[in-house]
Chains A and B, each alone.
Chain A
């Protein structure tokens, strides 16, 4: 099946720093989503971004589907950005049917004041 790899696995930042999280995937996809899981376990959908670039406040994401990767940028990080960031993809192959998203293992981010 499709492989989804996220890097780095762990990241520690000083408050105010910028960071880039990466998601590589092994096959063609028609759907890519980024999620943030806060320290209390709640998962929030940050971006639905099968291709191109989107921005939402201090966060932005870029997906280059032809090169099979996506990047999540966090600027001017705050302690509330701490948690785990997951990317998830859906295969675009004809025989993939309506199979669910495949998740990466996540990047654990700690922002220190």
Chain B
């Protein structure tokens, strides 16, 4: 069953803690993306990767980090430098950057 899997569905972060959100796809897509969505708002781009071992900052990259060591995986780390991390995080992928975009089911991150 092809798709994009995000885990966990819910995540809680303590002050000063780094947390990592997982995103795995088995669609053989080259491009992967991370978006942040705040309540009642649109999607803002955090990071994207068009190929393995390469990634680019999006509009709100500060306080976040990513890696792309495998084509299937694009984990997002929310660092302690991100002072307002509570949000809904969405991972997406496309075959190539301008092709049809598909989304995972999201991770809700909250601060304890």
Contact = CB atoms under 8 A, between A and B. Distances in A.
Interface of A: 30-31, 33, 35, 41-45, 48, 86, 88, 90, 98-101, 103-106
Given A31-B98, A48-B100, A105 B48 contact: no
Interface in B14-50: 31, 33, 37, 41-43, 45, 48, 50
A88 B105 contact: no
Q: Is the interface of B mostly helix, strand, loop or mixed?
A: strand
A7 B18 CA distance: 38
Interface of B: 31, 33, 37, 41-43, 45, 48, 50, 58, 88, 90, 92, 96-103, 105-106, 108
B57 to A, nearest CB: 11
B98 A30 contact: yes
Given A43-B90, A100-B45, A33 B100 contact: yes
A45 B98 contact: no
Nearest to B37: A41
A64 to B, nearest CB: 20
B105 A45 contact: no
Contact of A104 (B31, B42, B58): B42
Contacts of A30: 98
A24 to B, nearest CB: 15
Contacts of A42: 103, 105-106
A89 to B, nearest CB: 11
A103 B100 contact: no
A105 B92 CA distance: 18
